[in-house]
Every structure is written in C-alpha cells, then in structure tokens.
C-alpha cells in the first residue's frame, strides 16, 4: 500500500508539537510492516523561531523505512503555512490513500484537493486543530474572518472524508458538531516507547541539585504557564517549600517575555529553571529524572506529553479542561485541578511532592495505560486497519 501522510511540520521541527510526532510514529510503524509511506510537509525547522523555514533542508529524506518530502512554505500566518508545491508532489507520487493530520491547516486543504484529483480515499485526523480553542473568539477582526473561512472548508473536508479519526470521545463530539453524519471512529494517540530513551544525564547537564517538577510545552498562555508560576509562588513564598524546583522546557509561542517577567516579579529565579528550545534528548531525560509532570493547560484536545511522562512511570498533574480527562484520570494516573486555579495546583503539587507512595501508584497506572493502549504500535495498527477497510470498500 502506498500511503501519503500530510501535516504542517515534521522532523527536525520536533518542537511544533504532537502533530509532528504522530505523523512520524504512524509512518515508522506502518512502513516497518512493508508499506510505502511518505510524509508530505513543510521545511519548518524551528532553528530561529516557530515560523522559520529552511530551504537547506533536504527536499526528500529517508528515515528508517519511510520518507519525508518537504516543500518550501513561502508565506505563514500564525500556524497556517502555505506550501502549494506540496500538491504536485502528491499528485506525482500517486498514493493509494491520503491521511491528513492537523485539520485547521493549509496542508489539509492540499490533501483534500489531491485526494479528489487522484480519486483516492481521504482520512482526517486533527490533533489540536483549534476547533474549540478558547482564544479563537479573542482574536482580532482579521483572524476571526480567517477562522470563519477555515470553518467552511473544514466542514467540507470532514464531509468528504472516507473516515475521520478522533483521539477521544471529546474530539469525536467536536467532529459530530461540524458534520453530524461524519464517519468518526476513535483511535487513541500513542507514543513511541522505543524512542523515549536518552543517554543525557539531565541534572548533571543543567546543574540541578534538587528534585524537580517538570513542564514541557509551548511558552503559550493557553498552556497555563502563568497559573503554574503563581502556584510555585504559593509553594515557595507562602508554604515555604523550597527543596524542589520547577523546570520549564519549551519554545516561545508568544508568552516567553511575560513568563520571565512573572518569575522575576515573584522572586523565583532560584526556584524556576527555564530551558529554551531544548534538544529532544534533553526532554526525554528530563521526564525520567523528574518527580512528575505538571500541565495546567486551559485547553487541550489529546496531549501527548502526559503519555510521554507515563512512559517513565511519572504521574501527571493537569486540568479538567476539554479532552484532558480522557488521558489524565483523576487519582488513577494523575491529579486533575480546575484551570487557572493556582491554589488548587499548588495543593496538588505539594501533595505529590510529599507522597512518594502515591507518586509511584499513579505513575505505574499511567505506565500500564501507555503500554496497553496508548503506544505508537497500537495506534499505527489501528490506522492501518482503517486504511485497509476503506480501500476494500472502495
């Protein structure tokens, strides 16, 4: 089977988020089973920022048994990258099936048009496509107009697709609200357990002497970093808990300056360590050496960072927002708090820091969850079964 996977970003832009990792993991696992898989994407590389494109990246590159085909993005607006040359590459290669990941993207439009032209099935996945993002309504007139236009083509893509794949029940409801007759099935997100290995000694590299709580993600207000810093202010300056640090790892998505200003305001420079643009090996090592992960997001569909934390038997503190409870389950593999509530978050952090037995219990449950259900092998096999079923019907 010849499979085209379409997404806005891939290697080396690992800091783009879950879309990049999902596409690579699906491609890796399915190509290992003998199928011809190519990821079609942009030349985003994050070398100098979240919207930087690199013409020096190989146009066609082989990774293990799958390929990445990159075309240059000559214009970008927020996370909307225009690389129209992708279309001709897909048409030239004539795949048997097209799978687009990241619905609110220019690449999903290309996938839709290409599948129509080739008369082959289209599979749709989202993974953070902003269909319910709380900040959509807070944008200016121009962006609101753009989002309205996007909503029109999103509905048409979902309506046209042979199958729509949602990561959880919450996301399935979103697709149903877009198009009630959408052919939606649930395929859980998974992480590649084999790739979550690092030879880096994280604490030694960054000279961290104490236990630490970890945050991994974009420096964005939607990730709840403000709430996290305020919670550490409560822990350090009110509860006088100073024997643990907070390590924040990620890339700037518009909140970096405010983040540093807040750390200085609360005099937490010695208590919070920020690592900008961290290498992937360092992130993996940080999971393993942390006490647990804190992800106090205001909005998530189906985040991957909790699954990565679970892979290391580390529990997760997160929020009851949107799709998070389908991954982080309160007092089963983590602790859930209300979003934008630093007091609740501080109490949850204190609870886990002081209870090693609870940390071990929740972390082991998360580890079992990933090994049994939310891993890349299971995810890819479910996608492959979907491809095969659709092609048989067609």
Q: What is the CATH number of the domain that holds 74?
A: 3.40.50.2000
Same domain, 308 and 252: yes
384-392 LR contacts (CB < 8 Å, sep 24+): 384/30, 384/33, 384/35, 386/123, 386/163, 386/165, 386/185, 386/187, 387/1, 387/3, 387/97, 387/99, 387/121, 387/123, 388/1, 390/97, 390/121, 390/123, 390/162, 390/163, 391/1, 391/96, 391/97, 391/121
Which of 133, 75, 72, 142 is CA-nearest to residue 104?
133
Contact 384, 33 (CB under 8 A): yes
DSSP-derived letter for residue 375 is B
- Asked if pLDDT for residue 130 goes beyond 50, the answer is no
**Would you say 241 and 350 are in contact if contact means Cβ atoms under 8 Å apart?**
yes
Same domain (yes/no): 176, 223:
no
Whether residues 90 and 214 fall in one domain: no
What are the tens digits of pLDDT across the range 318-365?
999 888 999 999 999 999 999 999 999 999 999 999 999 999 999 999
Domain that holds residue 132: 2-190+375-393
366 assigned to some structural domain: yes
Query: Is position 197 within any domain?
Result: no
Same domain, 47 and 171: yes
**Helices and strands, counts by H and E, the chain:** 13, 16
Over its C-alpha atoms, the chain yields an Rg (Å, rounded) of 21
Instruction: Indicate the range of 13-17, 114-118, 137-141, 228-232 predicted with least confidence.
Output: 137-141
β-bridge mates for residue 391, sequence order = none
Q: Return the pLDDT at 297.
A: 93
In a domain, 196, yes or no: no
In this structure, the answer to whether residues 160 and 208 fall within a common structural domain is no
Q: What is the percent of the chain with per-residue pLDDT over 70, rounded to a whole number?
A: 93
Verify cis geometry, omega within 30 degrees of 0, for the bond prior to 12.
Answer: yes
Pairing of strands 66-71, 60-63: antiparallel
Q: 226: helix, coil or strand?
A: helix
Instruction: Give CA–CA dist 219/212, Å, rounded.
Output: 19
Per-residue tokens: 368: 């079992």
Average pLDDT over residues 141-169: 84
Closest CA to 272 of 203, 343, 214: 214
Rounded CA separation 348/346 (Å) = 5
Residue 191 CB-half CA count within 13 A: 25
Number of compact structural domains in the chain: 2
Residue 329 and residue 208 in one domain: yes
**What pLDDT score was predicted for residue 47?**
57
More confident residue, 86 or 241: 86
148 pLDDT band, cuts 50/70/90, is: confident
Yes or no: say if 223 and 254 are a contact pair by the CB < 8 Å rule: no
Mean pLDDT of the chain: 90
Are 210 and 227 found together in one domain? yes
């Amino acid at each position: 089977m010849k499979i085209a996977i379409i997404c806005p970003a891939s290697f080396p832009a690992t800091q783009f988020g879950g879309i990049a990792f999902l596409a690579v993991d699906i491609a890796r696992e399915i190509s290992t089973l003998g199928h011809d898989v190519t990821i079609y994407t942009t030349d985003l590389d994050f070398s100098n920022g979240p919207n930087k494109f690199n013409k020096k990246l190989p146009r066609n590159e082989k990774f293990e048994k799958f390929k990445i085909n990159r075309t240059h993005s000559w214009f970008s607006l927020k996370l909307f990258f225009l690389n129209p040359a992708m279309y001709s590459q897909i048409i030239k290669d004539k795949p048997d099936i097209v799978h687009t990941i990241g619905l609110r993207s220019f690449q999903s439009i290309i996938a839709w048009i290409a599948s129509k032209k080739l008369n082959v099935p289209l599979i749709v996945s989202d993974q953070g496509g902003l269909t319910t993002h709380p900040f959509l309504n807070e944008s200016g007139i121009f962006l609101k107009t753009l989002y309205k236009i996007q909503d029109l083509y999103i509905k048409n893509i979902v309506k046209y697709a042979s199958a729509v794949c949602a990561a959880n029940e919450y996301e399935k409801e979103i697709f149903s609200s877009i198009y009630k007759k959408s052919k939606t099935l649930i395929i859980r997100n998974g992480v590649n357990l084999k790739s979550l290995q690092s030879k880096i000694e994280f604490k030694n590299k960054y000279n961290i002497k104490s236990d630490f709580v970890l945050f991994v993600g974009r420096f964005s207000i939607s990730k709840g970093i403000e709430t996290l810093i305020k919670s550490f202010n409560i822990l350090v300056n009110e509860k006088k808990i100073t024997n643990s640090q907070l390590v924040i790892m990620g890339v700037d998505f518009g909140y970096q300056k405010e983040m540093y200003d807040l750390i200085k305001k609360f005099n937490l420079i010695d208590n919070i360590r920020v690592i900008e643009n961290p290498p992937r090996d360092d992130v993996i090592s940080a999971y393993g050496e942390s006490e647990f992960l804190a992800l106090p997001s205001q909005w998530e569909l189906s985040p991957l960072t909790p699954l990565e934390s679970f892979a290391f038997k580390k529990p997760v503190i997160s929020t009851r927002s949107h799709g998070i409870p389908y991954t982080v389950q309160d007092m089963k593999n983590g602790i859930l708090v209300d979003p934008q509530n630093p007091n609740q978050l501080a109490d949850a952090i204190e609870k886990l820091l002081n209870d090693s037995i609870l940390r071990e219990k929740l972390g082991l449950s998360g580890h079992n969850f990933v090994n049994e259900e939310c891993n890349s092998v299971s995810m890819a096999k479910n996608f492959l079964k979907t491809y095969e079923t659709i092609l048989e019907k067609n």
